[in-house]
Copies of this chain bind each other. A is one copy, B any other.
Amino acid sequence: MRLGLLQLNPKVGDLRGNAARVEAAYERAAALGAELCVTPELALTGYPPRDMLLYTGFARAARAEAEALAARLHAKFPNGPALLLGCPELNATGQGKALFNAALWCEAGAIRHSFRKSLLPTYDVFDEARYFEPAPAGDANVLRYRGVVLGITICEDLWNDKDYWPHRLYPVDPVEAACAAGAQALINLSASPFSLRKQALRQDMLSAIAKKRGLPLAYCNQAGGNDELVFDGRSTLYAADGSVAARAAGFAEDVLLADLSAPAIPVSLDDDLSAPAETWRALVLGTRDYLSKCGFKKALLGLSGGIDSAVVAAVAAEALGPQNVLGVLMPSPWSSRGSIDDSLELAKNLGMPTQTIAIEPLMRAFDASLCDSFAALAPGAGPGITEENVQSRIRGNLLMALSNKTGALLLTTGNKSELAVGYCTIYGDMSGGFAVISDLPKTQVYALARHINALKGQAIPPAIIDKAPSAELRPGQKDQDSLPPYDILDAILALHIEKEQTAAEIVAAGFEAATVARVCALVKGAEFKRRQAAPGIKVAWRSFGSGWRMPLAAAALP
């Protein structure tokens, strides 16, 4: 049987538009000879629809859209392929959560069956137990179609094989259930977000399942960026021996014709899966989709002469076209000449327009406005971090004014190391609607800069990569006066944030106790800043944002 895997990039909540995307891809697949078309998980709503799912009016509208789509496809293609369509389904059992996460079987103009997801991920960025009831015990997840018994599962349903995972999250395995019911091929609708090293894991696990079951496995994933999440597509057909028989594009929409009964044809897997290459593709797609799905054509950002803003500028220029990205230089008396020159050279290399606004007059105006109150409230206190923050917030105000006046989205340029330890000013350099590299530790920012220069002809001036990082908020300031060296800092942060290790465990792994204690205390102390941070693009296994839910008025971890 020939499947058409419709690897779509839906916009969350855009039921009408997403139905049209399904329809167009279905037409392409039908023209290629597909006998069954499969969408990603919840393709009609886009994934993740989050609390839109709490509106039953939304679920009803999705159902109506699915019914209209089924009728429309049948009118156009009376003998066309059936369609497995990801769509929420109202739970009519009278008990439990209001919805099922379902795959609707559309055939001959109507919805004929529904298959419900059994395993509901409720960890990290996933909240499925918030919305969905699992498939009722005894629900069949197989269907005979054109002589083949298909085992139909949804995303996480594949992720609980007892031979693959040393620790299982769920007591049941829907793949096992489908096989017990006679499945001859496995089909999975997914919305599996990108993170570094995940593609290798997916491929290893899905291949192991196909091989173990001796069945072909067709996996259809979503593509595109939705808020913090980037979906990397790469829908794949695994042959019954576990080999990859066909694979769709990475980080883009695609329609893949996958023949379940054809012999396995080795396909070349020529993606560069290195961290900088994967990161580049994810950030460009995530930035492009966030802006376009929010209705922005243009962006702006502050160019400080440092590596963070340089990398964000390069990503934005690639995502939106350089003419649509404005770089704003806002030098202060503490800015080095090099920072200004380097920023102008970067913008020239990328082809971006710039504006320059010196902030010294504004700094003086704030000093004058605040001096009486400071004298009254904190007599004798000299200038310090307060004045550094004022500078940063002056820049935030200027950037937001340019954003408001021109309709360009302000991109914030902070990296994950800064955001982790609070080396950033809330309402200052943290201002902005989207945080392009907020999930990249500083060491990965450097690696990405080198990758960009390899791709884009040294667009980032070497001086930007070579200089010591500095916020330039006071004369001679360097990041490393306030923070541990970035290689040490990032290693500690990886254990603390991604591996959920406490300070004692990190010290046991060989790091200096005083440094670990300081870093963990900084992470805790910056929680209030992260709570008000812009959304960023998830790249790591664990990221700040919707998958990081720490209390604020709390003691430190032990």
Interfacial residues, chain A to chain B (CB-CB below 8 A): 11-15, 17, 46, 48-52, 54-58, 61, 94-97, 122-123, 127, 129-130, 167-171, 225-227, 289-290, 293-294, 326, 328, 355, 357-359, 361-362, 365-366, 368-370, 372-374, 376-378, 381, 385-386, 389-390, 393-394, 396-398, 400-402, 404-406, 426-427, 431, 433, 500-502, 504-505, 528, 531-535, 546, 548-558
Contact = CB atoms under 8 A, between A and B. Distances in A.
B393 A369 contact: no
Contact of A293 (B15, B396, B553): B553
Nearest to A330: B369
A226 B553 contact: yes
Contacts of A401: 366, 370, 386, 389-390
A370 B397 CA distance: 10
Nearest to A533: B532
B368 A361 contact: yes
Nearest to A224: B553
B96 A171 contact: yes
B400 A378 contact: no
Contact of A373 (B15, B48, B357, B502): B357
14 contacts: A12-B551, A13-B557, A49-B554, A61-B502, A96-B170, A122-B122, A227-B551, A361-B365, A361-B369, A370-B401, A386-B404, A386-B405, A393-B397, A400-B427
A556 B556 CA distance: 39
A90 B406 CA distance: 54
Nearest to A96: B169
Given A95-B168, A122-B122, A500-B55, A373 B400 contact: no
Contact of A57 (B227, B326, B550, B557): B557
Contacts of A293: 553-554
B58 A502 contact: yes
Given A12-B551, A532-B533, A355 B369 contact: no
B553 A227 contact: yes
Contact of A11 (B50, B548, B555): B555
Nearest to A95: B168
Given A57-B558, A502-B55, A551 B405 contact: no
Q: Which of A390, A406, A433, A549 has its CB near the most chain B CB atoms (within 10 A)?
A: A549
A48 B362 contact: no
B549 A546 contact: yes
Contacts of A368: 361
Lowest 6 A-B CB distances belong to which pairs? A57-B502, A293-B553, A14-B555, A12-B554, A13-B555, A386-B404
A552 B226 CA distance: 8
Contacts of A389: 400-401, 404
A484 to B, nearest CB: 21
Given A55-B502, A362-B369, A556 B95 contact: no
A393 B392 CA distance: 12
A178 B392 CA distance: 60
Contacts of A227: 551-554
Contacts of A328: 373
Contacts of A50: 549-551
Q: Which of A226, A401, A433, A528 has its CB near the most chain B CB atoms (within 10 A)?
A: A401
Contact of A55 (B226, B290, B376, B557): B557
A52 B550 contact: yes
Given A394-B397, A404-B389, A535 B552 contact: yes
Contacts of A553: 11-12, 225-227, 289-290, 293-294
Contacts of A326: 377
Given A369-B359, A555-B12, A57 B390 contact: no
Contacts of A535: 531, 552
Contacts of A406: 377-378
B393 A46 contact: no
B15 A558 contact: yes
Nearest to A133: B169
A555 B17 contact: yes
A152 to B, nearest CB: 24
A143 B17 CA distance: 58
A507 to B, nearest CB: 11
Contacts of A130: 122-123, 127, 129, 549
A398 B369 contact: yes
A357 B366 CA distance: 10
Contacts of A55: 500-502, 557
Contacts of A49: 551, 554
Q: Which of A293, A369, A386 has its CB near the most chain B CB atoms (within 10 A)?
A: A369
Contacts of A505: 57
B431 A405 contact: no
B369 A548 contact: no
A372 B402 CA distance: 11
Contacts of A431: 427
A169 B97 contact: yes
A399 to B, nearest CB: 10
